[in-house]
Amino acid sequence: MNRIRSKKSIMMILALVLIISSAVQSTLAFIVTQTDSIVNIFNPTKSPVSSLVISKTVEHPYGDDYVIPADITFDFKVELGSAYSGTTLLTDKGVVQCDSDGSFVVTLAANSAIGIDGIVEGTEVKVTEITTRNGFALKEGIESTQTLSILPDGGARADFINVYTPSTLTLDNVFLEGEKQLEGRDWAEGDFFEFLLEASVDGEWTELATAKVEYDAANADYNKFNLSAALQEFEFGNIGDYSFRISEIEGDLENVDYDKTVNYFAISVSDDDMDGKLEIASVEAKQNVTSAYDEENDIYELYVVFNNTFVPDPEDISVTVTVDKTVNNTGDKEIGPEGFVFLLESVESGETLELVTDKNGAAKLDIVFTHEDIGEYSYKLSEKKGNVVGVTYSDTVYEIVISVDVVDNTLVADITVNGEAAEDSVFEFTNVYHVVEEPIEPGDKSMIGFYIAMATMALIGAVLLAVAKRMPAEY
């Protein structure tokens, strides 16, 4: 009889549950087993269940391809009030249980959300981000605690946005040093050299610092310089590759060939762990720089060497302008090529020099160039017209260009004549001399004086000869 009553009681309870479930169609309920007891997620005598969504977004400057580490999570305390003391709620990530105050904590990864069901309409909910991480600050306008009420049309939403801004990085373990080497002569009092350190900022090279070495007989390291302090003061504000270069500032020491090499190195900055501070990923020598890493002491060392060479003045060079004069005698008389004058005019200065031919028709003029005369010089060579009867002077004009340069510390001169390269500087001029003697006509009075003079001389000679014959022998 008692068994029958027990069965009836069980059947009545099941029927009652079915009736309640049918009457409240929109109510979501589930049963969990905990220490052999049945716990209801919500009080079925209240309004239908609604939902709460909590989302976490992290904004950062690293671009879309950057993957936020999985261990970067954020904790949120959800406060529902004492009415939810001990209540178990369903979320899309599992179940949570309220403590005696009706509160619980959920953990979210960056850029994720959680939905919580079982919170009754009208419930005032307080959600507080309780995680503190270096570099993660709530975006302006976002409160760390948000209070909201569960609405009848689908719940409420609490959005939290953090902006990740790691602290800037400065390098106290990277050292940049160098030295200056001078070849060709010893250092002397007053010798100094300067160097420039630059960083590429927004695509432009920006000066960071300069360094100077100066001869000091009392200091064995006078030729060493150190730019570590300037490099260590540079602020790295984001991940990425940073480029640096160091070069020599050209000075004015006489005969010193300054080093024109540009020396590059790069520092790569990373933040893979997103721990709120940037880290050095690598220090790399790119060009004309050596690098070393002391792993035991975590020290990076960069070193650069500049080489200058003292070059003595090259010896002077002489370019000889040679005139070769030819005279074509086409008449009854002849003259030689001697005594003709030629003019060498500088196009740049207007100065004119003269050359006079010798008995062989040659005339030479040496133009001397020093190391200070590197450049191009233009001249015009022509014959000066004289007044010798019967001479037709040359109209030839030579346009001469002499280019002076230094090759292997030796002056060299290239010559072009009338626009064409020339191997020598011999310039030919030809004159024509033409004189014709006229024949003497019979009875020409122009010859009477000559005949009279000849007769007089013959008479004087005959008288002298006769007197000589009559004189004594002792004379």
Q: pLDDT tens digits, residue range 155-211?
A: 799 999 999 999 999 999 999 999 999 999 999 999 999 999 999 998 999 999 999
The amino acid at 381: L
Count of CB atoms within 10 A of residue 107's CB?
13
Strands 262-270 and 279-287, how do they pair? Answer: antiparallel
Residue-level pLDDT at 136: 95
Is 132 found in the same domain as 45?
Answer: yes
For 148, the domain range is 28-164
263, 284, 310 - which closes a domain: 310
Q: Is residue 423 part of a domain?
A: yes
What is the separation, in whole angstroms, between the first and last Cα of the chain? 213
Q: In the structure encoding, which two tokens stand for residue 289, read together?
A: 């720089």
Residue 57: exposure state from Cβ atoms within 10 A (0-12, 13-18, ≥19)? middle
CATH number at residue 77: 2.60.40.1140
Nearest to 51 by CA among 132, 154, 127: 154
Residues 355, 277, single domain; the answer is no
Q: Give the number of other Cβ atoms within 10 Å of residue 291's Cβ.
A: 17
> Is residue 451, in this structure, part of any structural domain at all?
no
Does 363 share its domain with 425?
Answer: yes
Write phi, then psi, for 185 (nearest 5 degrees): -165, 165
Same-domain status, 214 and 108: no
**Predicted model pTM:** 0.57
CA 186 – CA 197 distance, rounded (Å): 27
Tell me what the mean pLDDT of segment 84-108 comes to: 95
Contacts of 288 (CB under 8 A, 6+ apart): 261, 262, 263, 264, 304
pLDDT, residue 50, reads 55
Answer yes or no: is 355 within a domain: yes
- Are residues 263 and 148 both part of a single domain? no
Q: Are residues 230 and 304 in the same domain?
A: yes
One-letter amino acid identity for 451? Y
**Could you tell me which residues are beta bridge partners of residue 54?**
114, 158
Q: How far is 136 from 166, CA to CA, in rounded Å? A: 8
User: Which pair of structure tokens corresponds to residue 246?
Assistant: 């160091």
Number of folded domains that form the chain? 3
**440 belongs to a structural domain:** no
105-135 pLDDT tens trace: 999 999 999 999 989 989 999 999 999 999 9
Instruction: Tell me: do 95 and 40 sit in the same domain.
Output: yes
Residue pair 343/381 in contact (Cβ under 8 Å)? The answer is: yes
Please indicate, yes or no, if residue 284 is contained in any of the structural domains. yes
- Is pLDDT above 60 for 39? no
Together in a domain, 138 and 180: no
CA atoms of 171 and 208, how far apart (whole Å): 14
Together in a domain, 283 and 340: no
Contacts of 462 (CB under 8 A, 6+ apart): none
Which pair of tokens denotes residue 398?
């030579």
Domain assignment present for residue 399? The answer is yes
| Res 437: pLDDT | 78
Listed residue (76, 88, 79, 77) closest to 34, CA to CA: 88
Q: Give the CATH number of the domain where residue 305 resides.
A: 2.60.40.3050
Per-residue model confidence as pLDDT tens digits over 260-283: 999 999 999 999 999 999 999 999
Contact in structure between 156 and 187 (CB atoms under 8 Å): no
> What's the Cα-to-Cα distance from 355 to each of 138, 358, 363, 382, rounded to whole Å?
93, 10, 6, 10
Indicate whether 33 belongs to any domain: yes
Q: Within 10 Å of residue 329's Cβ, how many Cβ atoms?
A: 15
Which of 133, 164, 195 represents a domain boundary (last residue)? Answer: 164
Burial 191-213 (b: 16+ CB within 10 A, else e): bebebbbbbeeeeeeeebbebeb
User: Is the same domain home to 330 and 412?
Assistant: yes
Residues 301 and 188 placed together within one structural domain of the fold: yes
**186 and 225 share one domain:** yes
Question: Is 464 domain-assigned?
Answer: no
CA distance 288 to 418: 47
